[in-house]
């Protein structure tokens, strides 16, 4: 072990003595590292801002059009398969028909009031869903003509929108055929 002594001036001497320069190291500071981190964060923020401005300059992303296309196809499927709204409406119409028809009414009147009106209600709701699918699909397909014509619509959006339009047309045709009793009309009571 070394010894440390203090001379007349008060300076330490010996093996463990340190100089003033070693005690206080003024060349090392943490400030430049902090500035570098701040500068890096600012550069990252600038890059994100530039990416956002470039995306806005390119135009709409097509998310709304894609969602509209999927909604159109979903409405078309509901028009063909039926939904809970048409089921509830048909059940209600059956109940109303049972309540309003007397037990002395003819069989033809009972069939029409109890089952025929419910069948027409189901066809009406199917037609409304088909019409909604058709309208939404056409709007999605026509949207690029009124928006940013330079940016083409994604192919999958067109495909799904055309599927919605097709299902809407088929659903509307089936609803009209059911409502007019051309397709699965009521049986005769004779």
User: At which residue do the structure tokens 């929108």 appear?
Assistant: 161
User: At which residue do the structure tokens 């994100």 appear?
Assistant: 48
Give the pLDDT of residue 31: 53
User: What residues have CB less than 8 Å from 152, skipping those under 6 apart?
Assistant: 144
How many C-beta neighbours within 10 Å does residue 24 have? 8
Entry pTM: 0.62
**Paired strand residues for 12:** 6
User: What residues have CB less than 8 Å from 111, skipping those under 6 apart?
Assistant: 186, 187, 189
Q: How far is CA 122 from CA 125, 153, 185, in A?
A: 5, 36, 13
188 half-sphere exposure, CB direction, 13 A CA radius? 1
Distance, in Å, from the CA atom of 157 to the CA atom of 163, rounded to the nearest integer, reads 10
User: Cα dihedral sign for 134, 137, 139, 142?
Assistant: negative
Q: Per residue in 78-125, pLDDT tens?
A: 988 888 888 888 888 888 888 887 777 787 777 787 788 888 888 999
Instruction: List the chain residues with pLDDT less than 70.
Output: 1-7, 9-61, 145, 147-150, 189-190
């Amino acid at each position: 072990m070394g010894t440390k002594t203090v001379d007349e001036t008060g300076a330490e001497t010996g093996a463990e003595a340190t100089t003033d320069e070693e005690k206080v190291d003024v060349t090392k500071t943490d400030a430049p590292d902090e500035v570098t981190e701040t500068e890096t964060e600012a550069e990252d923020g600038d890059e994100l801002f530039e990416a956002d401005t470039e995306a806005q300059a390119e135009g709409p992303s097509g998310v709304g059009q894609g969602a509209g296309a999927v909604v159109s196809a979903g409405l078309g499927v509901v028009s063909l398969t039926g939904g809970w709204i048409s089921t509830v409406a048909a059940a209600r119409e059956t109940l109303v028909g049972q309540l309003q028809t007397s037990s002395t009414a003819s069989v033809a009147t009972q069939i029409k009031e109890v089952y025929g009106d419910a069948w027409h209600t189901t066809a009406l709701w199917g037609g409304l869903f088909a019409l909604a699918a058709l309208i939404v699909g056409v709007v999605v397909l026509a949207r690029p003509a009124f928006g940013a014509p330079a940016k083409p619509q994604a192919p999958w959006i067109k495909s799904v929108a055309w599927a919605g339009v097709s299902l809407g047309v088929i659903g509307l045709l089936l609803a009209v055929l059911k409502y007019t009793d051309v397709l699965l009309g009521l049986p005769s009571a004779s």
